[in-house]
Each structure stands twice: as structure tokens, then as C-alpha cells.
Structure 1
Amino acid sequence: MRSTYLGLALLFMAGPVLAELRPLAEDELQGISGQAGLSISASLNFAANPAQTRCPGGCGTRVAIQPANSSGFIVLDNIQGTFGFEGLSFDIVTIDSGYGGEGAAFNASAMRLGLTDASFNNARVTLAGSNSATSGGVGFQQTDLLTYQINGDVRINGSLYLFATP
């Protein structure tokens, strides 16, 4: 056990010794290629909490969004199952072509969120309207609009573009 701790300590101490940070000249930068943006991978497991008794067997995760100038909430409730993805990319792109000619007319930047190898497994989610961000409590009211449930796997790939508005 001591040898494991000693090995980890030496590894952490040796890292800074091998690292070198230095400014690069313009001609050196020209020879470097890479990928712009940010990439993230995750696996999330949303399990029911038996202490939340308003759902049979317990409730899953709850996400509440309050639109501007509204007293109510749009709710994704009782989220259960496994969600994972191998790559979530985030970058800024210029749309100046494509989209049936509308890209050239748009000619502006957009934020692109891309999912690579995303999947849902045995998932459940309820779309609802509510008067409260949190569930339960005095005066709590919620209207369930739609419940989506899958038993098995769903695979997703694609990009979501977000555009700035004036």
C-alpha cells in the first residue's frame, strides 16, 4: 500500500519537471494543426428516489425552466434511465452558404453543439407545466402533458445550432 502512495507521489512530482511552456513564433504556429472547440464525454444514470412519494416507486430527476415574463414553469420531470455520449462538441461556426441558399443571406456566426454517439437506455421523462420549480409543498400544482418511455436503446447523432437574435 505504501508503495502505491509513493508511486503516485513521484508521478505527481515528476509531471511538472517534464512540462515546458514557452511562446511560439508565428512560423512555428503555422506548422501546428489541431481541432478548435471543446469535446466532452459522459455517462449519466438517473435513478428513481423512493423518498419522492408523489411518483409510484419514487421520482427521478426534475429540471424546471421559467420562461421570461412567466409565473409558471416548463418541467422535465421524473427523468430516469441512462444517458451517455462519447463526444459533445461546442464551437462557433460561420454560416454563409447552404440551407437552400438561406445560408448566404444569413452570413453570420452561430454556436454549434454536436452530439456524437449519444444514447438513451431504458429512459423515461415527463413534460409538464407547473407553478413551482420544486415538487411537492403547499399549493403545488403540476399538469403532466406527455410521458415518453423507452425500454431499450436509442442512438442519437447530430448538431444543434443556436443563433443570436438582435
Structure 2
Amino acid sequence: MTTRKWQVGVFSFFSILAALPVAAELSRLGDEAMARVAGQSGIYLSGDISINEMGGPVEDSYFGRCDDNGKKCGARFAYRLKESGGWMVLDDIRGSFAFEGLTLRIRTVDSGFGGDGELFNRDVLELGLPNTVRFSDVQFKIAASSTARPTDPGFQQTDIFSVEMQGEVIMEGNLLVFPTGSP
């Protein structure tokens, strides 16, 4: 009974709050007022991401569950460095990782880089690396492949090396992504 009375009391309290008049009003800012406004751009991200812990959504003669040693399991990321070249792939990606404090912002590079920044004088995307990234059973292969997908005709893949990660990695610094083309 005590719990029921408390729930009714909370409901009554919020009903009273909802009935109170709101006295907020939005108004348009003029050019002079906007000129005095200062702000910062940026995004702060935290996440916990799991990739194919048990296997992917496709199960056929090639792909299957991760506990089936006769099948391939995990995500695949393929990229081509030249239009007529072969493919580099991150293959059999699986596991989970968590991070806190990845930042994204726009930064102007107008000095530094041995004087080259003054010549560049443009905006870049700055990725602020998170302090600590936690890995749990992360696995992937770096390989060269003749096709983007293993199910494409003529598929041949050469695994270069395999990676397994467990634990924490401390990351410091920023990664700058420079635009290509003219401003």
C-alpha cells in the first residue's frame, strides 16, 4: 500500500507542475546582437560498440556463426587505393570497444607546420582522440584481396597479419583531416 500511495503522490505532483503557466518567450536577434554572440563548435562522443560478437546476419556456404570454424565470421571493410588496383581489407572484424571523450571540431590551420600552415590558411576537421579505449575480444585481419567481397567471382585473398586486442589503450593527441581541392 505504501508504494501505491507514493505513486499517486508523484502523479499528483507532476500534474500540478504541468498545469503551471510557462513564461518563456523566444525572440529574434538582430545583426548587432548576433555580432556580440560568441560560441564554440564541436561534438563530444562516448560509445560502447559491439561488432559481430556471435556472427553476422548472413549465413551461407561462406559466412556463418563465429563458433563454426568452417565458416567466415565478422564484418569486412574494403577500400581500393587506385581505380585499377587491388583491394586492401579489414576482414573478420568482431569484438567490442568502448571510449569516452572522442571530440570532433573544426579548426583553422593558419600557422605552424614549418610555415606551411600560413600558406594553407583553411579549416580542417580535428578528431580529438579519447583518453582511454577499452577493447574486449577485438579481432580483425589486414589483407590484400582481388575483389571487394569474398563472394565475388575470382576472389583471392592474402592475409597480411591478424590482430587480437584485449584491455585498455591510452590515446593522446589529435588527428587532423585536411580537405582536398580548392577552397
Query: Same fold, TM exceeding 0.5?
Result: yes
Q: How many residues align?
A: 155
Distance 1:128 1:101 in 2: 38
Whichever residue aligns with residue 48 of structure 2, its letter is: S
Deviation at 1:86, TM superposition (A): 2.1
- Pick one of 144, 162, 165 that aligns with 2:177: 162
The worse-fitting range, judged by mean Cα deviation, of 28-37 and 111-120 is: 28-37
Cα separation, partners in 2 of 1:101 and 1:53, compared to 1, 3 Å = same
User: In the alignment, which residue of structure 1 is the partner of 2:4?
Assistant: none
Aligned-pair identity (%): 36
Structure-1 residue corresponding to 2:104: 90
Mark the CA change 1:108 to 1:114 in structure 2 (over 3 Å): closer, same or farther: same
Asked whether the 8 Å contact 2:93–2:139 carries over to 1, the reply is yes
Aligned 8 A contact 1:85 1:115 in 2 = no
C-alpha contact (below 8 Å) 2:140/2:163 kept by paired residues: yes
Aligned-partner Cα distance in 2 for 1:36–1:81: 32
| Counterparts of residues 9-24 of structure 1 (less than 5 Å) | 21-24=26-29
Deviation at 1:143, TM superposition (A): 1.0
Pairing 1:36–2:62 present: no
AA aligned opposite 1:36: S
* Structure 2 counterpart of 1:124: 139
Max radius of gyration: which structure?
2
Q: Partner amino acid for 1:161?
A: L
> CA offset at residue 106 of structure 1?
3.2
CA–CA distance in structure 1, aligned partners of residues 148 and 168 of structure 2: 30
Using the TM superposition, give the Cα deviation of residue 37 of structure 1 relative to its aligned residue in structure 2, in angstroms. 2.4
Q: Deviation per CA, 1:30-80: give whole Å up to 9, x if none.
A: 665543123332211122518535983752211111234135221111112
Give the drift of 1:145: 1.1
Higher relative strand content = 1
- For residues 74 and 22 of structure 1, do their structure 2 counterparts lie closer, same or farther at Cα, with a shift above 3 Å needed? farther
Q: 3-state SS of the aligned residue for 1:24?
A: coil
Quote the residue 2:55 is aligned against: 49
**Rounded Cα–Cα distance in structure 2 between residues aligned with 1:84 and 1:25:** 44
Determine the C-alpha separation between the residues in 1 that align with 2:97 and 2:142.
Answer: 17
What stretches of structure 1 of length at least 5 have no aligned partner? none
Structure 2 residue aligned with 1:70, among 84, 101, 119?
84
List runs of 5+ in structure 2 lacking aligned partners. Answer: 1-6
Displacement of 1:164 after TM fit?
A: 2.5
Q: Which moved more, 1:106-115 or 1:31-40?
A: 31-40
Could you say if the C-alpha distance between residues 49 and 69 of structure 1 is closer, same or farther in structure 2, counting changes exceeding 3 Å?
same
